[in-house]
């Protein structure tokens, strides 16, 4: 069962990630031409975008848009796709 404290904490985390994405997008424009900084910021942006995918999925669960079984299945599939693309360093239990 989902409680309001979990929902509020999740909303704050989603807002923080969105703000960090905005900050990085603005900063990338300022460091244009510095390949090292651009690359580092781009990597951070990709990490935040991946985190956002997981947060959006959890938001759907917390809002009651998907049942727990569906949420867990979609979570596993998202993690597998991200791992396959090299976006998550953690191996699966099977691998």
Per-residue pLDDT reduced to its tens digit, 41-83: 999 999 999 999 999 999 999 999 999 999 999 999 999 999 9
How confident is the model at residue 7, as a pLDDT? Answer: 84
Note the pLDDT of residue 91: 55
Question: What was the pLDDT predicted at 5?
Answer: 85
Cα–Cα distances in angstroms (integers) from residue 93 to residues 31, 79, 80, in the given order: 40, 12, 11
Average pLDDT over residues 5-9: 86
- Of 76, 80, 75, 29, the C-alpha closest to 55 is 75
pLDDT value for 90: 57
- % helix, strand, coil for the chain, step of 5: 75, 0, 25
Asked whether the beta carbons of 75 and 54 are under 8 A apart, the reply is yes
Tens-digit pLDDT profile for residues 83-95: 999 998 755 555 4
């Amino acid at each position: 069962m989902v409680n309001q404290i979990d929902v509020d904490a999740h909303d704050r985390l989603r807002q923080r990630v969105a703000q960090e994405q905005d900050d990085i997008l603005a900063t990338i424009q300022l460091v244009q031409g510095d390949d090292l900084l651009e690359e580092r910021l781009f990597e951070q942006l990709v990490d935040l975008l991946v985190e956002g995918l997981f947060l959006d999925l959890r938001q759907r669960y917390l809002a009651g848009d998907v049942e727990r079984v569906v949420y867990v299945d979609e979570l596993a599939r998202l993690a597998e796709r991200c791992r396959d693309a090299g976006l998550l360093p953690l191996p699966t239990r099977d691998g």
